């Protein structure tokens, strides 16, 4: 990867909440690999199986009064020492850089929680337990998305509520970086195909056939606006409490009249009194 690409990939918001974890974790992983120390700090590896950092090599002591063969052996050991020292210094600098990266890219409100941890491995293990979502949660969102994303809204459901639920689930899938969410626009079109066929046909041609680039949120709002224009909205009741009470009294009174046994007036059934909702 080019240096500019590495720097670009490492840019992002400071870690504060769980939805940021996947992106943040990918960035610190990339940075640690660039420093060639990822195998020393990977929090997904148990500590017993983790590769241990190098120990600082000790300089071989010069053999005063030693023979020429002993001094020659010392020079060979000194060359090895210099190579080991350079490797140790590079690794130590890499670990120190990762440690600083973690602090720099963590929201200050969480800095105090890292005081009990010293190495980058210990800190990443803690942050994983603090922010990482469980596999069960991820699989649950994945299953919900696969079922809900392209399913049409149920008959009689409020479209605005359905759109809100659909977009909330999409945002959860995006926060988990699920690959299935990449087809969100296509899934949305499939879900609303029978709700607004005219709108669907126009958007299918532009997005699927002509490959126009649409943000999913903009697509949802476009559908919402078109739906409100084309589908008559249910009027909001404007009956006042007093009017509703009068009308309810009328219904109850009429019910009482119908339930009373008819009075005998010859052979003709009684004519029930008609009540008016206005009270007359």
Together in a domain, 188 and 208: yes
Residue 236 lies in a domain: no
User: What does the angle CA 43 – CA 44 – CA 49 come to, to the nearest 5 degrees?
Assistant: 90
Cβ atoms of 178 and 144 within 8 Å: the answer is no
Summarised one tens digit per residue, pLDDT across range 186-210 is 999 999 999 999 999 999 999 988 8
Rounded Cα gap, residues 6 and 76, in angstroms: 39
Number of domains, the chain: 2
Cβ atoms of 153 and 224 within 8 Å: the answer is no
Tokens (6 digits) for 6: 């590495």
Summarised one tens digit per residue, pLDDT across range 1-53 is 334 433 433 456 899 988 888 899 999 999 999 999 999 999 999 999 999 99
Pick the last residue of a domain from 132, 150, 170. Answer: 132
Together in a domain, 144 and 91: no
Together in a domain, 148 and 166: yes
What is the model's pLDDT at position 34? 97
Together in a domain, 30 and 140: no
Cβ burial 111-146 (10 Å sphere, 16+ → b, else e):
eeebeebeebbbbbbbbeeebbbeeeebeebbeebe
Rounded Cα gap, residues 173 and 141, in angstroms: 6
Residue 279 lies in a domain: no
| pLDDT band with cut points at 50, 70 and 90 for residue 103 | very high
Residue 60 lies in a domain: yes
What is the model's pLDDT at position 11? 54
| pLDDT band with cut points at 50, 70 and 90 for residue 87 | very high
Together in a domain, 115 and 189: no
Together in a domain, 91 and 196: no
Together in a domain, 151 and 109: no
Together in a domain, 30 and 116: yes
Query: Other CB atoms closer than 10 Å to residue 153's CB: what's the count?
Result: 17
Summarised one tens digit per residue, pLDDT across range 47-76 is 999 999 999 999 999 888 888 888 889 899
Residue 164 lies in a domain: yes
Together in a domain, 115 and 143: no
Together in a domain, 18 and 128: yes
Residue 184 lies in a domain: yes
Together in a domain, 38 and 50: yes
pTM of the model: 0.48
More confident residue, 7 or 179: 179
pLDDT of residue 275 exceeding 60, the answer is: no
Question: Which residues span the domain enclosing 214?
Answer: 135-230
């Amino acid at each position: 990867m080019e240096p500019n690409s590495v720097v670009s990939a490492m840019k992002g918001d400071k870690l504060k909440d769980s939805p940021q974890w996947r992106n943040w974790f990918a960035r610190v992983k990339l940075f640690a690999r660039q420093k060639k120390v990822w195998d020393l700090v990977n929090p997904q590896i148990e500590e017993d199986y983790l590769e241990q950092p190098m120990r600082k090599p000790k300089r071989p002591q010069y053999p005063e009064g030693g023979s020429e063969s002993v001094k020659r052996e010392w020079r060979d050991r000194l060359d090895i020492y210099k190579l080991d020292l350079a490797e140790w210094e590079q690794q130590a600098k890499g670990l120190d850089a990762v440690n600083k990266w973690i602090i720099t890219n963590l929201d200050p409100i969480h800095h105090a929680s890292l005081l009990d941890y010293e190495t980058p491995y210990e800190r990443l293990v803690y942050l994983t337990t603090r922010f990482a979502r469980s596999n069960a949660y991820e699989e649950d969102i994945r299953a919900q998305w696969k079922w809900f994303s392209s399913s049409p809204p149920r008959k009689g459901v409020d479209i605005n509520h359905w759109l809100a639920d659909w977009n909330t689930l999409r945002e959860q899938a995006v926060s988990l970086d699920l690959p299935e969410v990449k087809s969100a626009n296509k899934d949305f079109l499939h879900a609303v195909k029978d709700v607004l066929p005219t709108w669907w046909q126009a958007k299918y041609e532009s997005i699927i056939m002509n490959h126009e680039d649409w943000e999913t949120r903009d697509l949802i709002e476009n559908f919402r606006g078109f739906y409100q224009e084309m589908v008559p909205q249910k009027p909001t009741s404007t009956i006042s409490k007093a009017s509703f009470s009068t009308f309810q009294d009328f219904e109850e009174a009429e019910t009482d009249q119908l339930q009373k046994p008819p009075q005998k007036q010859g052979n003709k059934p009684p004519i029930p009194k008609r009540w008016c909702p206005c009270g007359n």
